[in-house]
Amino acid sequence: MLSIRNIVKQYANHRALDNVSIEVEKGSVFGLLGPNGAGKTSLIRIINQITAPDSGEVFLNGEKLNPTHISKIGYLPEERGLYKKMEIGEQMLYLAQLKGLNKADATKRIKYWFEKMEIESWWKKKVEDLSKGMQQKVQFVATVVHGPELIILDEPFSGFDPVNAQVITNEILELNNKGATIIFSTHRMESVEQLCDSIALLHKSKKILDGKVKDIKNLYRSNTYRIGFHGLLRTPESEMFIAVDHKTDDDITHLTVKVQEKYSANDVLNFFIPQVQVNEFMEVIPSMNDIFIQNVKN
């Protein structure tokens, strides 16, 4: 759906994006990950046509990015706000009309969303009278009111309280089920790991990794397992594995082992079962954060 090809963005003495290419599939939840200053916001601003790249191209549904695409994208920026002295309803109308809706259509959709978010009574209120959590709901409505095909959320959960974060997450997933493509951008990688189908990792203006979350994790599996057991291991060492970590609490010993090439997980399990009471046996799958750190170190 969204195809980003060889984007370069140069500021005076700082290259914000260095030859970045990313593909986002239609209907997917995509995570744009990376630490602060990696170039995520610069890339998002290019997709939103706020700034233009120095070189490279962006395609949406196969068409080169152009002003008609504005109404197809919903954007919740990291630095987000509202006009403080303006009534909420009026403000939503204004923002929706800027996205290309006509007044009648905009009114109808805003009412729909206000009911859905249980904020119907806020129409005449001013932003300065709302709490931060309330403002976030309004901002979210402003992002999705025009029914965008692509929704881009830059650090969506920063500053959200857990209840609101859950409300918003559910709404986002519902929109995704209805066919919208979602891009999450965040430096808190653990927060979107479960939500995303695919990710791209940005570091120091470069893309260092991308693909389906499943595939990436497979790629970074290291044949490592965690075993929890009761009892004393009479023969603690074996040629089948190398113990990487070991700790005991409340009679249960937790051992992390790296299984050697010739052997399988079952072999290891068979080694333990005669000796001790096994409570847990699971593969250690690296988190996005681990994968990121590993990549940066390389």
Q: Residue numbers of the site for another protein (CB under 8 A)?
A: 11-12, 45, 48-54, 67, 70, 73, 75, 77, 79-86, 94-95, 97-100, 102, 139, 142
Q: Which C-beta is closer to another protein: that of 16 or that of 257? A: 16
Are 198 and 8 in contact, with CB atoms under 8 Å apart?
A: no
Please state whether beta strands 2-11 and 55-60 pair in parallel, antiparallel, or not at all (unpaired): antiparallel
Collapsing DSSP to helix, strand or coil, 86 comes out as coil
Q: Which C-beta is closer to another protein: that of 34 or that of 53? A: 53
For the bound state, the minimum distance from the C-beta of residue 206 to another protein, rounded and expressed in Å, comes to: 20
Q: DSSP letter at 234?
A: S
For the bound state, the minimum distance from the C-beta of residue 82 to another protein, rounded and expressed in Å, comes to: 6
Q: Which C-beta is closer to another protein: that of 80 or that of 207? A: 80
- Around 281, how many Cα atoms within 13 Å sit in the side-chain half-sphere? 16
For the bound state, the minimum distance from the C-beta of residue 128 to another protein, rounded and expressed in Å, comes to: 10
For the bound state, the minimum distance from the C-beta of residue 97 to another protein, rounded and expressed in Å, comes to: 6
In the chain, what's the furthest Cα-to-Cα distance?
A: 77
Beta bridge mates, 259: 241
Q: Which C-beta is closer to another protein: that of 80 or that of 109? A: 80
Question: Alpha carbon of 68 to those of 53, 72, 73, 100: distances in Å?
Answer: 18, 8, 10, 9
For the bound state, the minimum distance from the C-beta of residue 102 to another protein, rounded and expressed in Å, comes to: 8
Helix (H) or strand (E) holding 109: helix 103-116
Q: Which C-beta is closer to another protein: that of 47 or that of 257? A: 47
